[in-house]
Amino acid sequence: MKKLIFLFVVTIVSALFTGCSNDLTDEGPANVATKATVTIPHNTIITSDVTWSNTNEYILNGKVYVKAPATLTIQAGTTVKGVYNADPELASALIVTRGAKISAIGTFTNPVILTAQNGLEGGWGGLVLLGKAPLNRVDQVIEGINPSVVPSGVDVYYGGGGAGLGDAEDSSGTLRYVRVEYAGAKISEANELNAFTFGGVGRGTTLDHLQAYRGADDAFEFFGGTVDAKYLVSTATDDDAFDFDFGYQGRIQFAVSTIDPSLSYSSDPNGIECDNDGTGSTAEPFTHPTLSNFTITGTQSGSALNALKSAANFRRNAQFTLVNSVLYGFPSGVLKETVNPSTLLNNVVSSTVANQEFNTFTPDVSNLARAWNNLILSSPFGAYRSTALQPTGGAAIDGSYYSHTDAWFTNTQYKGALVSIGANWLTQGLWVR
């Protein structure tokens, strides 16, 4: 009986989608006041290609799954709002399952916005992409989803089937100029989703110009996978800005994270947090993110309403590469608790506690320790949408840079995510809040 009702709902919703996808004109997004509201009910499964149009506003009233072979297209200028539901089983989230795709391609001035209807941190779950790329464990259920309440026929596992298996080139589609706001709802007991959750996502996926704004858990969490990303922004996320686990092996260049000192954070907030897995096992592939041109900022005191931890914490048997980056405003700079082969070169690091820039180790001499007011950035704790985080002199542009041989990376004449002068990817346009 339950199943019959469910199929009925899906049919109605599919009909709505089909109608909506024909509404688009060439006149650009409609006036906000005239947008029609389309409500997508809990446990909707999108099984064939659908377009969410910028002439509508979409309300997710629960979990919505995209199932292979469907592609969900969300047009530039479209806003999707997740409904708050105190029952974690009913928390709203958009979940793109293995083999399915999302195409959410906004523009510099007209992003795709996924937000909470109530405008509060944790007001909805967030965006989840699941793929078939390698992990360091057998197929895994995505954290935060309770498989026992997922509708039958929906696969909430991710990864390519275990060590040595999987499709590193797998594609989950494209996210470009997408902002996810107020995510991180509890989605089952003691389990939060993140703004962006990537489980086993492959490098056939395109990720660039993504902002996570004030989520209740991590901004970007990568569970295994090989996906690359450029131009990421984490704004005042509750836990970690960039969290890596379960054998993630991708590349990320140009990423900024900031903290709002008027808020409180989790018990373990780090700019970057990187584990091989929760127990520090030697399961392969080892987690090894290759990170370049990060600007990780905390606060001048190293605290907000509670204490922050490390600008970067590499631990539990992880490997890592971090180059050409600027990290400051946390009690500890780079906390290295793994002895695995790693690369840490040409970074400039500050810590609010004396002599904790390179915590428990001596780095290569290309890494520099500096007081926060000697970094030298325009205004290290200033407004991130201004020129504040751009270097004006000193170690960030002292001529000592790591030179990439991998052509995927852009070689820069600066450290951190932002060029020293002029316009840049962060300070203009409307896509960053």
In the complex with Ca ion, which residue's Cβ is closer, 53 or 237? Answer: 237
57 binds Ca ion (CB under 5 A): no
Dist. CA 307–CA 133, nearest whole Å: 36
DSSP state of 90: G
In the complex with Ca ion, which residue's Cβ is closer, 186 or 370? Answer: 186
The residue from 57, 139, 243, 357 that contacts Ca ion (CB under 5 A) is 243
CB of 63 to Ca ion, least distance (A): 17
DSSP string, 291-308: EEEEEEE--TTSBSSSB-
In the complex with Ca ion, which residue's Cβ is closer, 170 or 240? Answer: 240
DSSP string, 101-155: EEEEE--SSS-EEEEETT-STTSS--EEEE--S--SSS-EEPTT--GGGSPTT--
Which span (25-33, 102-110, 134-142, 192-200) binds Ca ion, by CB under 5 A? 192-200
Which span (86-94, 111-119, 188-196, 392-400) binds Ca ion, by CB under 5 A? 188-196
In the complex with Ca ion, which residue's Cβ is closer, 194 or 324? Answer: 194
The residue from 170, 181, 217, 277 that contacts Ca ion (CB under 5 A) is 217
Beta bridge mates, 245? 223
CB of 326 to Ca ion, least distance (A): 21
Dist. CA 52–CA 112, nearest whole Å: 11
In the complex with Ca ion, which residue's Cβ is closer, 115 or 276? Answer: 276
CB of 316 to Ca ion, least distance (A): 9
CA end-to-end span of the chain: 45
CB of 239 to Ca ion, least distance (A): 4
In the complex with Ca ion, which residue's Cβ is closer, 170 or 221? Answer: 221
The residue from 121, 273, 277, 357 that contacts Ca ion (CB under 5 A) is 273
218 binds Ca ion (CB under 5 A): yes
CB of 398 to Ca ion, least distance (A): 31
What is the chain's Cα-based Rg? 21
Please give the residue whose beta carbon sits closest to Ca ion in the complex: 268
221 binds Ca ion (CB under 5 A): yes
228 binds Ca ion (CB under 5 A): no
240 binds Ca ion (CB under 5 A): yes
In the complex with Ca ion, which residue's Cβ is closer, 121 or 221? Answer: 221
In the complex with Ca ion, which residue's Cβ is closer, 50 or 318? Answer: 318
306 binds Ca ion (CB under 5 A): no
Q: Which helix (H) or strand (E) holds 213?
A: strand 206-213
**Number of residues counted as binding Ca ion (CB under 5 A):** 9
The interface with Ca ion within residues 368-407 (CB under 5 A) comprises none
Which span (80-88, 118-126, 129-137, 263-271) binds Ca ion, by CB under 5 A? 263-271
The string over 234-265, giving b where at least 16 C-beta atoms fall within 10 Å of a residue's C-beta and e elsewhere, is: bbbbbbbbbbbbbbbbbbbbbbbbbbeeeeeb
* Dihedral sign of CA atoms 257, 271, 243, 345 in order: positive
Dist. CA 48–CA 62, nearest whole Å: 19
* Backbone torsion region of residue 425, taken as left when φ is above 0, otherwise alpha when ψ lies between -120 and 50, otherwise beta: alpha
239 binds Ca ion (CB under 5 A): yes
Contacts of 257 (CB under 8 A, 6+ apart): 219, 233, 234, 235, 237, 241, 242, 271, 294, 295, 296, 297
Helices first, then strands: H and E counts in the chain: 1, 32
In the complex with Ca ion, which residue's Cβ is closer, 246 or 384? Answer: 246
268 binds Ca ion (CB under 5 A): yes
Question: For residues 329 and 372, is the Cβ–Cβ distance under 8 A?
Answer: yes
In the complex with Ca ion, which residue's Cβ is closer, 268 or 284? Answer: 268
Phi, psi of 378 (to 5 degrees): -55, -45
Return residues touching Ca ion (CB under 5 A).
194, 217-218, 221, 239-240, 243, 268, 273
